[in-house]
């Protein structure tokens, strides 16, 4: 008898914007978005992928992004978060888990990501090993409240469902 076990995990991440003089690109879901500044972080600071990674790790009970990719390790300095995502997928696969659904939301006043949504899904779905039809990308604001409302940074949240077949 084949039994399917499924689990869900949630992830959250936040990064502040860099100074304009830093010339850091803004990378969200592996796509460079034309914007005045990027996000500060040890890696490329792709806040959406970081939330996605934490959701995956949580679902598989494999810790969190800081344990797997510590910011004290120079190997991860300025690394593309898509590479971290690939390594996370490999970690899940080594335990028999497969992603079956993901929902990722950006929280911020700017930039607007509507015209990049399809490109984001097309970029990330193959890394996850899923169809872009089961990867949702969305955004919301904080109605100008708090540090996000003041455009000081961005946050993201994600939920992922994984399955293990025995």
Q: In the chain, what percentage of residues exceed pLDDT 70?
A: 97
Span 22-31, average pLDDT: 94
Residue 55 has pLDDT above 80, yes or no: yes
Is 113 in contact with 139 (CB distance < 8 Å)?
yes
Nearest-10 Cα torsion for 38, 41, 44, 50: -110
Q: Report phi then psi at 122, rounded to 5.
A: -65, -30
Q: How many residues does the chain have?
A: 166
28 burial via Cβ count (<10 Å: 0-12, 13-18, 19+): buried
pLDDT tens, residue by residue, 86-114? 999 999 999 999 999 999 999 999 999 99
- Whether 119 shows a pLDDT value over 60: the answer reads yes
> What is the full DSSP assignment across 5-43?
EEEEEEEEEEEEBPPGGG---EEETTEEE--S--B-SSS
The pLDDT value given to residue 3: 75
Write out the two tokens for 108.
Answer: 């911020």
Number of CB atoms found within 10 A of residue 70's CB: 11
For residue 1, pLDDT over 80 is answered with: no
């Amino acid at each position: 008898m084949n039994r399917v076990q499924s689990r869900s995990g949630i992830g959250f991440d936040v990064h502040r914007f860099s100074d304009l003089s830093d010339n850091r690109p803004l990378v969200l879901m592996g796509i460079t978005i034309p914007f005045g500044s990027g996000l500060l972080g040890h890696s490329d600071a792709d806040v959406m992928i970081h939330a996605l990674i934490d959701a995956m790790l949580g679902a598989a009970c494999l810790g969190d992004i800081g344990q797997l990719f510590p910011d004290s390790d120079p190997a991860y300095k300025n690394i593309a978060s898509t590479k971290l995502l690939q390594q996370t997928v490999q970690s899940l696969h080594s335990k028999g888990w497969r992603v079956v659904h993901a929902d990722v939301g950006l929280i911020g006043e700017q930039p607007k990501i509507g015209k990049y949504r399809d490109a984001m899904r097309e970029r990330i779905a193959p890394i996850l090993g899923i169809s872009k039809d089961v990867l949702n990308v969305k955004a919301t604001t904080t109605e100008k409240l708090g540090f996000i409302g003041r455009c000081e940074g961005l946050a993201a949240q994600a939920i992922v469902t994984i399955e293990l077949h025995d």
